[in-house]
Amino acid sequence: MTPLPFDPIARAAELWDDRVGSATAMAAVTSVMRVQQIIQSAVDAALKPHGLTFARYEALVLLYFSRKGALPMRVMGERLQLHPTSVTNIVDRLESDGLVRRTPHPTDRRTTLVEITDAGLQRRESATAAVVDVNLGLRGLTDRQTEQLTDLLAKVRRASGDFED
């Protein structure tokens, strides 16, 4: 992709300011959405050689971070903030690739656990190295600036009801 010789968001903000009113929020939101596209593209490119999408990678990381390497599908959906159908599709694909397995819950017959396999652990490790190598697509910021960005975005997420303190 060839970079533009000007910042199209800054140009749009000037026009917005002239024709609509304050462009502060529009420029910020448009910038966040464009950065999301840039990051997604970088992460997708890093994960593709490992046969993973970001959603499947997130599921493997979640299972890896769990105490026993297994979680109920319902809990996976809550933590990943996904609809149960999406979790089922992700688990189906990971299972068909041999990266997770479904097991019955030891005390609750109604619950199915999803457990990461040794192959899933290995794939997660190599995929993590790949995404870390591209800094998860986030370029151009110092560590301190990245922390500030995370803090600012958390304020928006909290105010929108994404989580509570």
SS3 labels along 83-112 = CHHHHHHHHHHHHHCCCEEEEECCCCCCCE
**Residue ranges for the chain with pLDDT beneath 50:** none
Q: What is the total residue count of the chain? A: 165
Residue 2 lies in a domain: no
Q: How far is residue 82's CA from residue 122's CA, in Å, rounded to a whole number?
A: 25
**Domain enclosing residue 87, as ranges:** 8-18+30-133
Predicted local distance difference test score (pLDDT) of residue 95 = 98
- Look at residues 91, 93, 89 and name the one whose alpha carbon lies nearest to residue 103: 91
The three-class DSSP label of residue 138 is coil
Q: Please give the model's pTM, rounded to 2 decimal places.
A: 0.88
Q: How far is residue 18's CA from residue 85's CA, in Å, rounded to a whole number?
A: 45
Please count the other Cβ atoms lying within 10 Å of the Cβ belonging to residue 38. 13
Alpha-carbon radius of gyration of the chain = 20
Residue 158 lies in a domain: no
Q: Which DSSP letter does residue 8 get?
A: H
- In sequence order, the 6+-apart residues with CB closer than 8 A to the CB of 155 are none
Residue 100 lies in a domain: yes
Number of domains in the chain: 1
Residue 65 lies in a domain: yes
Predicted local distance difference test score (pLDDT) of residue 102 = 97
Q: Tell me the torsion sign for CA atoms 58, 61, 62, 63.
A: positive
Residue 144 lies in a domain: no
What CATH number does the domain containing 37 carry? 1.10.10.10
Token pair recorded at residue 151 = 């803090």
Token pair recorded at residue 145 = 């600036």
